[in-house]
Amino acid sequence: MADELRDRFPGSSAFDQIMDLEGEVYRAKEGRRTLMFEHQGREYFAKIHRGIGWREIWKNLSQLKWPIITASNEWKAVALLERSGVETVKIVGKGVRGLNPAKVQSFVVMQALDERIELEDFFKEMGGTGGPRRLALKRMLLRKVADSARRMHAAGMNHRDFYLCHFHIQNRDWSHWRPGDEVRLPLLDLHRAQIRSKVPRRWLVKDLGALLFSAVDCGFTDRDMAAFLKIYIGPNWKDQLRSNAGLWRSVLIRAGKFYQRHRGKAMVLPGIFAHLR
């Protein structure tokens, strides 16, 4: 536990105090709670795992899914992103106890972000900006997303819910933004992330397909898409797109199926990918 919370959860019973913590509940499912609480004027989020039970474990395994048993997944993912230079949440407390997989208890406590706006929503309005400022801001944000994706995947981590909504941005007066101003885009909701020495192709397709699905309705142009690809793939992105056509076709198929399922209509294929039809 970080020093800033030691007086909130004092003594040897700190683990029990966190397990019984009350606050504004954001999610409660399968033995897990996510809630917000305050301490000395600062807001925090706690993710508390009380054990998901054997039924849930066997259900996941029967569906060929690895069950999320503890909160350690989250803090390991955060640590890897920090080492990789990707903006994310700040963890100020963590713990795990127990050996029985069905009953193991754990928690992770994070400082609440100043960035509260989901990036997917922000892209649709661009903070009310217009003209050259709007374009410069949009391209800068796309490059930051691409850089985070590139660093995360290069480090061997896939998110599994890699949508634009899991990047957050600050709610501010964007009419005063200037190129060169610092803007944070922390990546969050990492409890399902997977870490290996290299991201397998199928999970790379899933991440990139989810990202494309969430971007399609944001009004991006082919030049916007190119700005992303130049950072994610590299300066020779056109050659790489052709040489790895199979991968990117799979990404388009994944995004298209997801779009059909959730939007009830066919996804309009970005022109930059037209040669991959």
Q: Which of 67, 27, 77, 68 is nearest to 47 (CA)?
A: 27
Catalytic position from the list 3, 114, 161, 189: 161
Going from the C-alpha of 252 to that of each of 157, 247, 256, the distances in angstroms are 21, 9, 6
Taking the chain, what is the end-to-end CA distance rounded to the nearest angstrom? 52
Containing H/E element for 236?
Answer: none
Is 239 a catalytic site residue?
no
Contacts of 91 (CB under 8 A, 6+ apart): 74, 75, 78, 108, 109, 110
Contacts of 11 (CB under 8 A, 6+ apart): none
Q: Which of 252, 221, 184, 214 is nearest to 121 (CA)?
A: 214
Contacts of 165 (CB under 8 A, 6+ apart): 118, 119, 120, 121, 214
Amino acid making up residue 68: I
Enumerate the active-site residues: 161
